[in-house]
Amino acid sequence: MRDIKIDTEYITLQQLLKLEAIVSSGGMVKAFLSEEVVLVNGEVENRRGKKLYPGDVVDIKKHEVLKIIK
């Protein structure tokens, strides 16, 4: 598990995927989420606008597990 530090109240799932270079553009996020399993706090998530707060854990299957920290 790797920590991702944010300086804002939250980060969206789309922003996180672009920040971590898992996708290269916002347009690719929708396709990525329809093809890959992404868990947020153990629940399947496919909304690119999902707000992620400090303490949330994002498990991107075939990639890595990320924890949002402040």
Residue 62: predicted pLDDT: 78
Would the pLDDT of 63 be above 90?
A: no
All domains in the chain, ordered by first residue:
2-69 (3.10.290.10)
| CA-to-CA dists, residue 36 to 5, 7, 9, 26, 52, angstroms | 24, 28, 26, 15, 18
Which pairing describes strands 64-69 and 51-52: parallel, antiparallel, or unpaired? Answer: unpaired
54: DSSP letter: T
pTM, entire model: 0.91
pLDDT digit string, tens, across residues 14-48: 999 999 999 998 889 999 999 999 999 999 999 99
